Amino acid sequence: MLEITKKRPVTTRKLHECFACTQTIDKGIKAIYATAKQDEQHTHFHLHQKCNIKLAKNKNALSDGVYRGCLNDIESTPQWLMEV
């Protein structure tokens, strides 16, 4: 299971994929850079700020931990995905 060990706010300098929703994170915006550990392997990824909040709010639904695209499974049509 993937365990986030550290999070810090960053301003992206290039495009990234959001780990939680798998959508693109634009460059030049504020995002969350997360460091995580999975089976003693270290990994890192980016999250939208709002996805970071969603992850925190859905902690109970993610009792098995965070995985790629996990927010898509929690909510099929999240309101914020409709916003551009």
Binding span for Zn ion by CB under 5 A among 2-10, 15-23, 29-37, 56-64: 15-23
Binding of Zn ion at residue 21 (CB under 5 A)?
Answer: yes
Alpha helices in the chain (DSSP H): 49-57, 70-74, 79-82
Query: 18 with 70: CB under 8 angstroms?
Result: no
* Structure tokens, 72: 């898509």
Tell me the per-residue interface mask from 40 to 59 with Zn ion, x by CB under 5 A, - otherwise.
--------x--x--------
Which residues of the chain form contacts with Zn ion (CB under 5 A)?
A: 18, 21, 48, 51
